[in-house]
Amino acid sequence: MIRFDNSYARLPSGFFTRTAPTPVRDPSLIAVNEELAADLGIDAGWLSGPEGLAMLSGNALPDGATPIAQAYAGHQFGGFVPQLGDGRAVLLGEIVSPAGQRFDIQLKGAGPTPFSRRGDGRAWLGPVLREYLVSEFMAAMGVPTTRALAAVSTGEIVIREMAYPGAILTRVASSHIRVGTFEFFAARGDTERLRLLMQTVIARHYPQAKGALDLLDAVIRAQAATIAHWMALGFIHGVMNTDNMAVSGETIDYGPCAFMDEYHPDKVFSSIDSRGRYAWSEQPQIAVWNLAQLASCLVPLMGEDLEAAVEDATRVVHTFPAIYQDEWLKRFAAKLGISRPRPEDRSLIEVLLTQMAAQNADFTRVFAGLADGTAAAEFADPAGFAQWEKLWLDRIASEADPKAVMRRANPLRIPRNHQIEAAISEARDGNFALFHKLDRALRTPHEARAEWDALSLAPTPDEVVRRTFCGT
């Protein structure tokens, strides 16, 4: 059983609609995240049993749940949509973990809500398994992220380009409040609810913040750190719309996301991002753009003097690049084994990245190979790398334990797109063995094990996946 304490559902009307999950025909368990369950104080045995399955599939409401669909708006690919909201997700409630942290428990794919518009409120197996694997890998790498508590199949069919098996992901987040949640009330000129939302976010995520400007500053810092983490793993979110940006700083809404194999800064994977708005190298600028939207929402809460408020908010938004650059340098320096980076380390990193791009080197394998002396093999023309390597070895000669620093920063394995696609394809035939193998292997991405060696390999040319489809 779960002890719920549903603070969001106690907010006044306008923040959500009460919506129960729609039962499914024939649910079965795909995975339960026992480690996460333990951290949350949930009995994994109960969760895997009949009552747990009934909850995870939306077939029974556990005691204390007050299911809601949250309202939010958002800028999608730059265009404002005043009403989005949870169209295929239901928030069952919140729990406070044994460590005293509050978490949302949400079913993604739980059936239609008043925000579904023309959608069916459902998810299919592919996006559910992708989010499960990728979000748990991110957590294993220490990246702020929502988590996956469970995945179930529904025994129903979901129609997209064709018929697919339906599934539901149980997502855990420190909250699901988005930049788009602020935009929802700001666009309606509802300053009263906007202020209440701000107070809610401050109390829940940034208790030290004294007001709207402080909150903006805190979200900017959190996002700068998260995006730097993404960049250092070669991660491309794919749909960085403001409704997919959590104010907690957690990575959220894994849709057509992917990690790069061959390094190139312009990489895009999402099938719906035809113009490359959310390419890997664009992500920091897009974050600033999104945070500028948050800033303009918060301006009315910054005091009587509107002009001064706009000036303050603008100044704070403009701090993002410097904060981000520091985070970036810290992350990429660690990838080279440098624990206290100096400004000139930036060009050392950039020279390596330029060589990698010119030679289509595999992002993960180059960095993982630095600690083992196998990185040169990733370059078609190792001479340039050898030159760089001399400079690099000079630089890290004074570091206390560069290999340990590198091994922490550079995973041996990432959730490679072709592996995820293979796991999804087998799962569609009812075989979850590869999914479970990836799940286990990606929880300890630094650990070398013979049975996992093949998972470190880059895709062969015909294994390469060029597009990933939207998370619907």
- Give contact residues for ligand AMP (rule: CB under 6 A): 84-88, 115-116, 119-122, 239, 241, 244, 253, 255, 471-472
Residue with token string 């939306």: 58
CB of 169 to ligand AMP, least distance (A): 13
**Which of ligand AMP, Mg ion, none binds 286 (CB below 5-8 Å, type-dependent)?**
none
**Which of ligand AMP, Mg ion, none binds 122 (CB below 5-8 Å, type-dependent)?**
ligand AMP
Which is nearer to ligand AMP, 120 or 399 (by Cβ)?
120
- In angstroms, rounded to a whole number, what is the distance separating the alpha carbons of residues 452 and 455? 5
Which of 208, 255, 246 lies closest to 227 in space, CA to CA? 246
**Which of ligand AMP, Mg ion, none binds 472 (CB below 5-8 Å, type-dependent)?**
ligand AMP
Helix, coil or strand: residue 68: strand
Beta bridge partners of 75: 80
- Positions in 243-282 near Mg ion (CB under 5 A): 244, 253
Helix (H) or strand (E) holding 434: helix 433-443
CA distances from 62 to 58, 122, 183, 201, 235 (A): 9, 21, 32, 26, 36
CB of 113 to ligand AMP, least distance (A): 8
Which is nearer to Mg ion, 19 or 244 (by Cβ)?
244
**Which of Mg ion, ligand AMP, none binds 254 (CB below 5-8 Å, type-dependent)?**
none
Which is nearer to ligand AMP, 246 or 298 (by Cβ)?
246
CB of 127 closer than 8 Å to CB of 85: no
- The active-site residue, picked from 86, 104, 217, 243, is 243
Q: Copy the structure tokens of residue 409.
A: 């920063």
Which is nearer to ligand AMP, 241 or 410 (by Cβ)?
241
CB of 127 to ligand AMP, least distance (A): 9
Sign of the CA dihedral with 211 first, then 290, 78, and 132 last: negative
Q: According to the binding rule CB under 5 A, does residue 70 interact with Mg ion? A: no
CB of 261 to ligand AMP, least distance (A): 24
Query: Does the annotation mark 243 as catalytic?
Result: yes
CB of 471 to Mg ion, least distance (A): 8
Note the residue count of the chain: 472
Residue 188 CB neighbour total at 10 angstroms: 14
Sign of the CA dihedral with 126 first, then 130, 133, and 136 last: negative
Contacts for 97-104: CB closer than 8 Å, 24+ residues apart? 97/39, 97/40, 97/41, 98/39, 98/40, 98/41, 99/39, 101/174, 102/5, 102/7, 102/174, 102/175, 102/204, 103/40, 103/172, 103/173, 103/174, 104/8, 104/171, 104/172, 104/173, 104/174, 104/175, 104/176
Which is nearer to ligand AMP, 180 or 445 (by Cβ)?
180
CB of 89 to ligand AMP, least distance (A): 6
**Which of ligand AMP, Mg ion, none binds 86 (CB below 5-8 Å, type-dependent)?**
ligand AMP
Of 109-117, 146-154, 163-171, 236-244, which part binds Mg ion (CB under 5 A)?
236-244
Which is nearer to ligand AMP, 168 or 348 (by Cβ)?
168
CB of 16 to ligand AMP, least distance (A): 13
Cβ contacts of 423 within 8 Å, gap of 6 or more: 129, 133, 434, 435, 438
CB of 177 to ligand AMP, least distance (A): 14
- Positions in 403-462 near Mg ion (CB under 5 A): none
Looking only at the bridges linking them, the beta strands covering 147-159 and 68-70 are unpaired
Which is nearer to ligand AMP, 135 or 456 (by Cβ)?
135
Give how far the C-alpha of residue 124 lies from the chain's centroid of Cα atoms, to the nearest Å: 19
CB of 361 closer than 8 Å to CB of 355: yes
H helices within 234-361, ranges in order?
283-298, 306-317, 320-335, 345-358
Which is nearer to Mg ion, 250 or 253 (by Cβ)?
253
Name the DSSP letter for residue 459.
P
Q: Name the residues annotated as catalytic.
A: 243
List contacts with Mg ion (CB under 5 A): 244, 253
